[in-house]
Structure 1
C-alpha cells in the first residue's frame, strides 16, 4: 500500500504527545548520538506528520492553501478531496474517469482540473461535486502517452506534453448582465394562466415548474425534477383548475397538486417513452379524459376518475381511424373545440380534425400542399400550432374559416370545415418572413395575435376576415412589437384583464397589455400592480430588446424605398398596404415610431437607474462631463483658414560643392576678418 505523506515543519501542536515522545527518545540517547555521528536520517515523530492513506496509492495531488483543500488522484480512478488536518476520511469523492488519474489541479475559481492516462480531461465543481466538462482524446486531439501536465492560471490553459505539446484553452461564460431579468435558468417552453387562483404557471427545459402571482409578478412556489430531469414541453389544467397536467420529453403525463409539488398520477404507455408535445383536458358524454400527443404518432386518452387510486395509469384503446388512417409523422400540437371537435397537426404538415364521440376523422388538411403552390423550393412543412375560432366552429352551417394553423414560410392558414375547398385564406404576418411559433385569439375571435421565432408579436383584426369567400389580402394590420429576443413557444390572451401572457426560450415570462404596453417580467425585483398602469414598466421596454441590433428601426433608404422627404402625405399613408386607415387614424392602435434619439434616451435612463457596475459608472461620468453647448459659435467656426497656393514645381539644383565645407564656420571666419 502506498501513501501520500505531508510532513509538519514547525512541530505538532499536541503538547502531551510531544512530551511523551521526547521522553521515549531520551531513553535511547546513545543510539540517537550514534545515528547523528554516522549521519543516518532520524525518524520523524508521529505527532509531526499527517498521513493520508489511499487504496492503490496516489499518483498526483494538489494543495490549495487559500481554500484549505487537498486533492489526490491515483490508480483507482477516484479523485478525493481532503481537509489537510483531517486525514481519516475524504470530504468528497469525484468519480468519472475511466483510467488512472495522472494530474490534478485546483484553480483560483475553485474548480478542479484532472487528467487521466487515457487522455481525458475533466473539470469539476468543488461545491456541487459534479463534472462540468469532459474532453476526450478524440475531441481534443491529444495522442500519445502523457509525460507531463501544467495548468497556467493567467490564460486559463492546460498544457499537456505527449508526443507533441498541446494547449487546451478554457472558455468561461461571461457573467450575467445585471440589467437582464430572467424567469427561469433554462429556456421556457410553456406557460398558462389559472384564472381561479390568479396564478401563472411556467415550465422550462430544466424540468422546473414555477408558480407566479399574476397580480404582482412575485414568485410563489416552484418544484424541480418534474419529469426526471427531462424538459417539460406542455401543460394544462383540469376544469376545477386545482390540478396541473404536464407533459415531458420522458414520454409521461404527470398530474400535480401544483401548490405543494405532489405528483398525484403518472400517465404513460407501457411500451413507449417518446416525447409528449401537447396535452389537453376534454369532456365527452360526461366522461373526462386527459389527452396527450407526441412522437408516438397516436392520440392517447387517459380516463380521469376520482375513484382511480392507481399512481400509474395506461391509456384507453386507440381509435380505429387513428390506427389505420392517423398521422404518419410525429404529432406536434393538439387543440379542442367543445363539445366534439379535436384537431391535431404533425411534422409533415398534415392537420386532422377528429370527432371525439365516434373517434372518426372529419377532415384532413395539408399545409405542405398549400405551401408547394406558393414556392417550388423544398421547405419545412411542419405545423406546430393549431387553434379553433370557437365562435365560428359552433355554427355548423357556416362556411367561414374556423381553424387557424401556422405553416411553412411564416404563413398562417385559415381553414373552413364546411366548404369543398378548405383553404380560404393565408398570409405571412411576420415582416421578416420568420416562422410563426405561437397563435392566440381573443374570446370573441376579433383579434389574432401571432408570435414568430424572432420574438415579435403581430396583431391583426380578423373579425370580418375569411367569413365566406376566399381572401386574397391579409387581414387588417393593428400593431406589432418585439416581446422577446428568441422564439416564443406560447401566447395566451387573458380577456378578463385585457392582458397578453407570453414566454420565450430566452428564459423569460412576460405580461403585456393587448395594445403592446410592457407590464413586466416575472422574476423582476420590483412588483407591479396589475390594476394600476402607473406601476407597469411602460413606456420602457426590456433592456435586452432595447440594445439588440435586430430591434433597431429599419430605415427606408436601406430597403431601397424613397425617403419620407420624397413622398407626399397621401403616399406616406398608402405606402404600406398592411397598414389600414383605422391604424392611421387611431394613434393607440398604430405603433409609435422609434427613433435613434428615443433609444439613446432609454439607454441614458438605465445608466442613471443603476450605477452598481464599473462600466455603468464610467458611462455615467461621460454623460455628466460632456461639453454643454451654450448656443455660441462652434470651435471650428472661429478658426481662420486660407487657401494654399499651388506649388510651381520649379526648383534649382543644389550646389553639391558645399557639402565638404562647414557653412556656419565659413561665415563666422568671414565675419571675424
Structure 2
C-alpha cells in the first residue's frame, strides 16, 4: 500500500486534478460577494473592529433607547440582527432580509449564531479566489501525458520536421530525420514504412547511393501531394506521397546557399492560382518559386526516364520557365533564416532569424512598401502569426514568449516568462485562444492569449531525457493540427524530441477553469446526465435538501419539496470517481471521498470548497462518518481509521490524525462504518466479513463480530456491504443490550448486540431472488420501527422491526420480520436508501447505479425522480408520478416470470416462516465473490459498481493563515 505520507508532498493529488466548477440555479439570486465593493469592505471592517462605529449603528437601531454598549479593543462577533443593521448602513436600507439571511448563513458555517470579521474575510477571500479562477480557462490539452513513440529508423538522430498528409485518406504523418531517414506513420503513430533520401549519383558505390548530408526542413505540398525536403547540400528533394508507395521523383540541386526554412502556399478555393514555394537560406535571403501549371508537373519531364529521381541543376532552372517562375530576394537578414511564412491576403513574406537588428521581418512580395522590422536581443528562434487575430508570437534564447500586434514593432503586447531554457517553437491555437510554447528542456507550456496566464506546464517524459543533459532537437519540433480537419480527426499537437514523437490531444472549444457559473455560462438544467451512475445520496433535514453523488465526480443539491436542483458541483474530485459522502453535525457542510484517496469539505450553501483533507493513501475512501464534535472518521482501502478535526480547522489543508489504534486490526479493506453516539462506539466492517466495534473514548477495538460461513457452500465469508445502528434502541436502557446493530452480508441481514454477553440476535435473507446483495440500509428516526433495505436487483423492501431481534434467536432459525412493502424501485442496484421525514410524513430516498434518484412514500407511491423536467409538490399527492411506479411494477412482474422459468417453477416464499435452508440458500451464499489484487490496484469483482477585493482581503487576512490557506 502506497502511503501518501511517504511522499514529500501529500497534497500532490489535489494539485494535479482538474479544477472543480459550481453551477447555481439563477433563482438563488445574486451571490453576496457580488454586491460588495472595496468601499463596502472597508466600511464593514470598521463596523466590526471600531467600537465607535458599532456604537453608532446600535444607536440607530435602538433609536436612543438605553442599552449596554459594547466596547473594548477585542474583535466582537455580530449576531444576525446587528449584522443586518450593519449591511443596511453600508449598502443601503432597501436590502432584502432573505439576502441578508443567506449571507449570514454562508459566513456562519459552524452555526454559532454570530459572525466575526476574520470569518467574513475567510469567506470572501475564498469566494473571490474561486471566481477569479473561474475566469481563467482550462488548458486545451486533454491529457497530462501524451502518447510517445520511438522513431527507431532515425538511427538516434533527431527528427527535423513532421508533416501531416491527408491525401489519400486516412490521415498519415511523415517525419524527416536529420540524417535523411523518412518515416511514414498512421494516425495512431504506428510506423507504416520508411526509406532514406538518395545521395549524389557520382558517389555511387556498389549500386548504392548514400545520403551524406543533414536535412534542414521539410514542407507538405498539399495540392500536388509531395513533400519537399531541404538539406545542407544546397538542394531540394521532392518526395511523392500521392500513393501508398512513397518515392523521390525530383532532385533540385546546386543552390547558391543552403536552404534553411521552407513554406508552401496554395489557394484551396481557387486552384487555378499558382502555388508558391518559399525558401529561406543561410545568407538571410528568400527564394520564391511559383509553379505555373502544377497539374502538368512542377518541372519539365526528362527526355528519357531516369534511373532514380529526375535531377535538375539549379542554374538550369530557366529551361523550365513554362512551368516554374523563380525570384530571389537577398539579404533580408544578417543571420540564417530559421522560419518563413506567407500571408496571401496581403502578399507578405514573414521571416525570422537570430539577428538582433532584423529579428522578424514582414516584407511585401512586390517590395513597394517599407518592411516591418522587429528587433529583439538575441533575435528570434521561432515565431507564429495568426492573420485573424493580427497577432504574432516569438520565442528565442532569452527564454521569453512575446506577443506582438501586426503593426507595432517597438514594444510587445505582453512578455510571458517562465521557461528555463531556449524556446524552440511556438504555436497559436486560435479555436481556444491559447498559445503553446516548447523549450529545449522538453517543457511544454500553455498560455491564455487574453489573460496572459500560464494555464499548464508539462515536462514531457521522453525516454531519451537524461538528468543534467539537454536533449537534441530538430529545427521544428511542433506540428499543430487545428480545425478545419478531415472527418473523424480531432485537433492535436505533435512534439518531437531527438528520435521520439509525442502526440497530445486538444480540446476543440474553450473550456472554463472552474468557480461559479450561471445558467448562461454552464447550461444549467435539471436533468441528471444520461448514463452517469450514482454512487451515493443523502438527505439534509436542516436545509431540506437531497444530495446526490455521481461516479463522474459531480455533486447535485435538490429541493426535496419540489425536486428542483439548486446547486451543482462538477469535477468535485477532478476526474476521479466520487464514492461516498456525509454531513457534518451542523448539516451546513458536506464531506466527500473519492477513489484516489482525496477527501474534501464543501459549503452546502454556495458550493465553496472549504477544506482539503490529507490523503492517507492514494487508494479509495469507501465510507465517511462525522461524530457529534465534528471529528471526521474516514475508512477505505488503507485498512485504517483516519481522523480529521474539521471543527477547529482554519486552513484550507487539514492534516490527518492517525491516533486510532487501527493499524493491523482489519486484515482487509474497510467497506462500511457507522457510529452510535449514545453508546460511545463506532462500528467498522471489512471485505473479509469482520465487524469490529471501537470505543470512542480509547480509540481502540472493543469487540469482534463475524458470521460463520455455511459449511460447504463457499470458501470464504462474504464482505459486509452496509452497517446501521438503531439509535432508538441504543438510547433505551431496556433495549440497548438487544439487537442494535444491523449488518448486510450477501443479502443476509444480521442483528447484533454490542454490549450484552450474547451478540447474535437475528438474521434473515432479505432479497426476493437468490444471489442478490443488500447494498444499503436505513431506518426511521427516532423510533426505529421500520427497516428499509435496497438490493443489487433494484428492489426496495420495508420491514417492520418494532419487535424484531429483541429476543435471542437461535442460529439455525432465520426468522424474518414482517415485510410491509416491497417494490422494484430502479432497473439496477440501489447504492443508497434513506428514510426521511418531510411535512410530518415519511418518505424513502433511493439512488441507483442506473443513474437515477427517486423519492417514494413509505407505501410505495412514486413522488418523482430527481433530474426530470416534471417537478412535484411534496404536500400534494396529485403531483406524484404514479405512472412510473406502474411501469416499474410491470418490469418487476416480468423479472419474476423470467426468474420463475429459470429455476423451473421453484419460488421463494415471502412469509416469515421460511427456514434458513430456503432463505440462506446455496445460490445466495454463492453471491460472495473474491477480490483480485494486481500490484497496488485492486479490482472489485462483486456488486454494482474579483482582483481589488482579493488584494484587500489578502492584506487583512493572509497574516493569520500559516499555509496561505483560504
Per the shorter chain, which TM-score range?
0.5 to 0.7
Which structure is richer in relative contact order (CA contacts within 8 A, separation 6 or more)? 2
Cα drift, residue 183 of structure 1: 5.5
Give me the whole-angstrom Cα distance separating, in 2, the residues matched to 1:190 and 1:50.
Answer: 62
CA distance in 2, matches of 1:302, 1:515: 40
Match among 339, 347, 356 for residue 687 of structure 2: 347
- From 430, 436, 450, the equivalent of 2:774 is 436
Q: Rate the CA distance shift 1:380–1:435 in 2: closer, same or farther, 3 A.
A: farther
Residue 706 of structure 2: which of 355, 366, 369 is its match? Answer: 366
User: In the alignment, is residue 578 of structure 1 matched against residue 920 of structure 2?
Assistant: no
1:3 to 263, 283, 303: 263
| Residue in 2 that maps onto 1:188 | 534
Select the residue among 747, 762, 766 that pairs with 1:425.
762
Distance 1:478 1:43 in 2: 93
The alignment partner of 1:251 has SS state of coil
Change (3 A) 1:528 1:327: same
1:329 is paired with a residue whose SS is coil
CA distance, structure 1, for counterparts of residue 550 and residue 385 of structure 2: 34
Question: 1:536 Cα shift?
Answer: 0.9
Match of 1:138 in 2: none
Structure 2 match to 1:148:
none
* Alignment partner, residue 874 of structure 2: 530
Provide the alpha-carbon RMSD of the alignment: 4.3
SS at match of 1:385: strand
Note the C-alpha offset of 1:576: 6.4
Instruction: Tell me by how many angstroms 1:209 deviates.
Output: 1.5
Q: How much does 1:273 deviate?
A: 3.3
Matches within 5 A, 1:513-662: 513-541=857-885, 551=895, 553-554=897-898, 559-561=903-905, 577-579=909-911
Task: Determine the structure 1 residue equivalent to 2:674.
Answer: 335
Q: Distance in 2 between matches of 1:432 and 1:52?
A: 77
Alpha-carbon distance between aligned partners in 1 of 2:874 and 2:773, rounded to the nearest angstrom: 31
Q: 1:220: how far off?
A: 0.9
Which aligned pairs between 1:290-439 and structure 2 lie closer than 5 A? 290-306=632-648, 308-320=649-661, 322-323=662-663, 326-339=665-678, 340-367=680-707, 369=708, 372-373=709-710, 375-379=712-716, 381-396=718-733, 398=735, 399-408=737-746, 410-433=747-770, 434-439=772-777
CA distance in 1, matches of 2:715, 2:574: 38
Tell me the secondary structure at the aligned position of residue 860 of structure 2. Answer: coil
Counterpart of 1:541 in 2: which secondary structure? Answer: helix
Q: What is the CA deviation profile of residues 366-399 of structure 1, one whole-angstrom value per residue up to 9, with x for unaligned ones?
A: 13x2xx1255322562112100122222345644
TM-score by length of 2: 0.43
Residue 790 of structure 2 is aligned to residue 451 of structure 1: yes
1:2 match: secondary structure: strand
- 3-state SS of 2:859 partner: coil
Contact kept in structure 2, 1:414 and 1:466, CA below 8 Å = yes
* 1:3–1:41 distance in 2 versus 1, CA, 3 Å: closer
User: Structure 2 CA distance, aligned partners of 1:108 and 1:547?
Assistant: 42
Alpha-carbon contact 1:482-1:551 (below 8 Å) kept: no
> Post-superposition shift, 1:358?
2.3
Q: CA deviation at 1:423?
A: 2.3
Q: Is the 8 A contact 2:624 2:635 kept in 1?
A: yes
The equivalent residue for 1:23 is none
Give the C-alpha shift of residue 448 in structure 1: 1.5
Distance 1:246 1:438 in 2: 18
Change (3 A) 1:49 1:318: same
**Other structure's SS at 1:512 match:** strand
- Are 2:656 and 1:277 equivalent residues in the alignment? no
- CA distance in 1: counterparts of 2:627 and 2:801, whole angstroms: 27
Corresponding position of 2:843: 499
Change (3 A) 1:50 1:456: farther
Q: Give 1:106-185 correspondences, 5 Å limit.
A: 106-108=485-487, 111=490, 126-127=508-509, 182=528
Alpha-carbon distance change, 515 to 379 in structure 1, aligned in 2, over 3 angstroms: farther
Q: Following TM superposition, by how much is the alpha carbon of 1:274 offset from its aligned partner in structure 2, in angstroms?
A: 3.2
Q: Secondary structure at the match of 2:815?
A: coil
Question: CA 1:554–1:50 in 2, change beyond 3 Å: closer, same or farther?
Answer: farther
SS at match of 2:721: coil
Q: Judging changes above 3 Å, is the alpha-carbon distance between structure 1 residues 200 and 534 closer, same or farther for their aligned structure 2 residues?
A: same
- CA deviation string 1:121-169 (max 9, x = no partner): 9986634699xxxxxxxxxxxxxxxxxxxxxxxxxxxxxxxxxxxxxxx
Cα offset for 1:552? 6.2
Distance 1:504 1:309, change over 3 A: same
- 8 Å CA contact 1:7, 1:49 repeated in 2: no
CA distance in structure 1 between the aligned counterparts of 2:897 and 2:351, rounded to whole angstroms: 65
Work out whether residues 288 and 304 of structure 1, in 8 Å CA contact, stay in contact via their aligned partners in 2: yes
Match for residue 509 of structure 1? Answer: 853
Match of 1:263 among 606, 609, 617: 609
1:72-83 aligned at under 5 Å gives the runs none
Query: Shift of residue 328 of structure 1?
Result: 2.0
Q: Is the 8 A contact 1:355 1:362 kept in 2?
A: yes
Change (3 A) 1:11 1:101: closer
Partner Cα distance (2:899, 2:551) in 1: 38
Return closer, same or farther for 1:561/1:3 CA change in 2, 3 Å cut-off. same
Q: Which residue is 1:614 aligned to? A: none
Partner in structure 1 of residue 831 of structure 2 = 489
Which 5+ residue runs of structure 1 have no aligned equivalent? 13-33, 56-79, 131-179, 563-574, 582-673
| Cα deviation code 1:183-221 (max 9, x no counterpart) | 676321111111122111111122212111111111111
Q: Measure, in 1, the Cα distance between the counterparts of 2:347 and 2:877.
A: 67
Distance in 2, matches of 1:550 and 1:125, equals 45
Q: C-alpha displacement at 1:363, in angstroms? A: 1.6
Distance in 1 between residues matched to 2:485 and 2:895, nearest whole Å: 43
* 2:531 and 2:850 in contact (8 A); partners too: no
Instruction: Using the TM superposition, give the Cα deviation of residue 449 of structure 1 relative to its aligned residue in structure 2, in angstroms.
Output: 1.3
Q: Give the counterpart of 1:218 among 564, 568, 582.
A: 564
CA offset at residue 225 of structure 1?
2.5
Between the aligned partners of 1:380 and 1:83, the Cα distance in structure 2 is 69
